């Protein structure tokens, strides 16, 4: 998906970019969740002195 998006940006292919919008939003949400979970785990480790 990333290479397709990069290619679409390079060529100005708006239709391809628009078709990927939902997938990109889902990927962003998954990454934000992963970052939040990492912060929780780091705080747990910090609370036990690690």
C-alpha to C-alpha distance for 24 and 36, rounded to whole angstroms = 18
24-43 pLDDT per residue, tens: 899 999 999 999 999 999 99
Q: Which residue has the higher pLDDT, 9 or 34?
A: 34
C-alpha to C-alpha distance for 44 and 35, rounded to whole angstroms = 14
C-alpha to C-alpha distance for 9 and 3, rounded to whole angstroms = 10
The average pLDDT across 13-22 equals 85
Whole-number percent of the chain with pLDDT over 90: 52
C-alpha to C-alpha distance for 17 and 40, rounded to whole angstroms = 34
Instruction: Please report the pLDDT score of residue 5 as a whole number.
Output: 73
Sorted by where each begins, the domain ranges of the chain are 2-47
Model pTM score: 0.63
pLDDT of 44 higher than 90: yes
C-alpha to C-alpha distance for 30 and 41, rounded to whole angstroms = 16
pLDDT of 2 higher than 80: no
């Amino acid at each position: 998906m990333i290479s397709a998006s990069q290619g679409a940006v390079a060529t100005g292919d708006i239709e391809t970019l628009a078709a990927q919008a939902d997938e990109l939003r889902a990927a962003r949400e998954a990454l934000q969740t992963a970052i939040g979970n990492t912060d929780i785990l780091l705080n747990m480790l910090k609370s036990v002195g690690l």
